Structure 1
């Protein structure tokens, strides 16, 4: 547990060292947009404190130009809807606990019907603020509130169009490297623990259950979080003038994330098998050769960790600015992957002398994991997958009607416990 927290603190410290400059620039952009909208609203409404304008500008300034357009429209619609409801309520009923509850319920219900997404609560907030003014001043408050919202939304959109945000490609690359670090740290911790537990085989089961829980957290939480960061980076290129003339690194990042996701799933399956085959102190674990088997698994985990770590660093450096890329990184990945064939040969040799069914299951699972990682991290496979993900200009969708000249039928693997990590074969291409 202590090693796990140390690894997490190291990753967070690395993230802060690399991302502080982008965080400061992002804060500066939001501050400038908010102040500009406040000044513009003061010119329109002198003698007032139009705080709604900077609030709207801060909410409208999003990471990507595409999302800011949608957010700006949703924000204006939410405010106008909430204000209209409040004006109607203020002319009919006083401000009471029951009228407030009815207004909030109707506002949120209509906001869901209009699919206002993140600005859903703004409908109720706008209605509550205007309703608090009372029936006599509701009309004036409503008009000023709508005008302030329009000013803030306009300034927020103009700020992102005139000063577009940077394309967060390098951020996505660092997130993918962080995912690789999480997988490799787990493999290294389990490898070190297996070496220590070779003399205490009865404790392997409880340790394997803990590793399985860590692997599940990676696949259930880390992978979706990194996927969201990658999606944000892909959307950051759309309608962004700063992306013009820069290479699209999205296919490489997408392939890197898919490979690490498949790797994490394979590793999780291996820990599941380790927990199953060590429950109840099986015969192979307490045998004289049990310690040698555990030490062999530790070596395999170390080989897997080195390959995953090198792959994550390669993906990050490919997405980094040109001045930070070093050609030796490809060679470091090739060097790290050379340990996988040795691990595969070691496991295949173990399979020839295995007689215990539990040990045979463990050997087969570890061998399948090594083969999976070897395929996913292969450089040739990475290039081929990137070409598949990259759509050339003028790309036309494949017609639904198949070609009659085709006589070959692709064969797909049968579904099994590990089917979610199996890569489906590619359909034959036109000659």
Structure 2
């Protein structure tokens, strides 16, 4: 019985996921746009309206606004070009090529973005009708586009798109989990004899993190757009900066971790008939990598959690693991120094290993994270003020008589 009900329960749970919600939203908005276009347009099948609504109702309110403007702009420009050509020449092979060329060039100048081909498409559709129908067809196409854009925009304003923060947070935690597993693997690798093939396998795992980072970055970009202009989000800028700076730190740590794997691989090549390290050093490195693995995991929880209690707990665990990592690092450094003085082989690889460990610990440091967070917040606020001075003045007037929270206060609220 449990096997039968589990898929049903899973379906019920999934109806609230962003992907399912977006699919339903796009379908409903397209149908509404088609019904409205049937009432207002003279076309028997005004499919441009639902097509526009389908494209306009993007996954976030921010992309909906930008998409609406660019699509209406592209259609209007294409219609104007077609009306101009229809009064001068008819539809021939050379006039078709000329109107396509002119539409694509003009589309770049009017900044139609990804809708540059839409300029040429609109011009061709209007030019393809008879001369007596050019004006009517042009007006219908503009009207249908406006209907689709307005319906899509109003739909997203009345029914705010879902936030994509949770999928991005899960992607970040997944990346940190893979880094955690790799660090634990390195801790096991340094104990006993390690072949070059085994060391190279860890290096390939580290290189695959680059692909993971690209996927996580795409998820985060979508989450950042969902936070822009969203009325359900109180401090969208702060949330975006917290996630972005956190991913940047993990990305740098992943690159350094790959370099660490390269160092251990080179060391394995130089010591094919013996262990990588003496047993005492190997045990200390095993403990160090274990602490670093837990620190990476705690760091991911800290930057993705939305609950203050969980954030505080994650920060405390991170501070503890970083402190333990630094203590273990000092033990490893002293042991390696003693070993180098006795047997100075590959001393440069030992130094590189310690430098790479230091860099990862520095990227995960709580105080450094706070400094980077404040710097990034201040930088983005200044950029917004310089880009939109009138909006900044209006906000300043609205804040008259009210206390403005500082960046530190915002961060405390977030954490």
TM score, norm. by length of structure 1: 0.72
Q: Residues 189 and 243 (structure 1 numbering): CA distance in 2 closer, same or farther, change over 3 Å?
A: same
Residue aligning to 1:351: 336
| Offset of residue 52 of structure 1 | 0.7
Q: Does residue 341 of the first structure (1) align with residue 326 of the second (2)? A: yes
Q: Which moved more, 1:162-171 or 1:371-380?
A: 162-171
Q: Deviations over 1:169-194 (max 9, x none)?
A: 44443333233234324334555566
Residue aligning to 1:316: 304
- Counting only pairs closer than 5 Å after superposition, residues 188-267 of structure 1 correspond to structure 2 as 188-191=184-187, 198-204=192-198, 206-207=200-201, 209-218=203-212, 221-222=214-215, 224-225=217-218, 228-229=221-222, 231-233=224-226, 236-238=227-229, 240-244=230-234, 248-267=238-257
Q: Deviations over 1:232-289 (max 9, x none)?
A: 25xx233x322248894334323322321221232122233334444xx32x443356
Q: What is the CA–CA distance in structure 1 between the aligned matches of 2:84 and 2:223, rounded to whole Å?
A: 44
Q: Does residue 361 of the first structure (1) align with residue 354 of the second (2)? A: no
The Cα RMSD (Å) is 3.7
| Offset of residue 209 of structure 1 | 4.5
SS where residue 294 of structure 2 aligns?
Answer: helix
Q: Does residue 371 of the first structure (1) align with residue 358 of the second (2)? A: yes
SS where residue 286 of structure 1 aligns?
Answer: coil
TM score, norm. by length of structure 2: 0.74
SS where residue 72 of structure 1 aligns?
Answer: helix
Counterpart contact for 2:253–2:359, Cα < 8 Å: yes
Counterpart contact for 1:230–1:253, Cα < 8 Å: no
Q: 1:54 aligns with which of 50, 60, 72?
A: 50
SS where residue 115 of structure 1 aligns?
Answer: coil
Q: Does residue 138 of the first structure (1) align with residue 123 of the second (2)? A: no
Structure 1's unaligned 5+ residue stretches are 1-16, 399-431
Counterpart contact for 1:375–1:381, Cα < 8 Å: yes
Residue aligning to 1:149: 145
Counterpart contact for 1:53–1:151, Cα < 8 Å: yes
Q: Residues 336 and 43 (structure 1 numbering): CA distance in 2 closer, same or farther, change over 3 Å?
A: same
Q: Residues 376 and 224 (structure 1 numbering): CA distance in 2 closer, same or farther, change over 3 Å?
A: same
SS where residue 329 of structure 2 aligns?
Answer: helix
Counterpart contact for 1:251–1:389, Cα < 8 Å: yes
Q: What is the CA–CA distance in structure 2 between the aligned matches of 1:35 and 1:285, rounded to whole Å?
A: 68
Residue aligning to 1:412: none
SS where residue 17 of structure 2 aligns?
Answer: helix
Q: 1:303 aligns with which of 286, 291, 296?
A: 291
SS where residue 340 of structure 2 aligns?
Answer: coil
Q: What is the CA–CA distance in structure 1 between the aligned matches of 2:104 and 2:186, rounded to whole Å?
A: 49
Counterpart contact for 1:87–1:135, Cα < 8 Å: no
Q: Deviations over 1:186-229 (max 9, x none)?
A: 3345555666xx4452424533552453244355x246435524
Q: What is the CA–CA distance in structure 2 between the aligned matches of 1:66 and 1:307, rounded to whole Å?
A: 35
Residue aligning to 1:420: none
Q: Deviations over 1:277-308 (max 9, x none)?
A: 44xx32x4433565746776555444322221
Counterpart contact for 1:68–1:157, Cα < 8 Å: yes
Q: What is the CA–CA distance in structure 2 between the aligned matches of 1:379 and 1:123, rounded to whole Å?
A: 51
Q: Residues 330 and 143 (structure 1 numbering): CA distance in 2 closer, same or farther, change over 3 Å?
A: same
Q: What is the CA–CA distance in structure 1 between the aligned matches of 2:128 and 2:189, rounded to whole Å?
A: 63
Counterpart contact for 2:50–2:148, Cα < 8 Å: yes
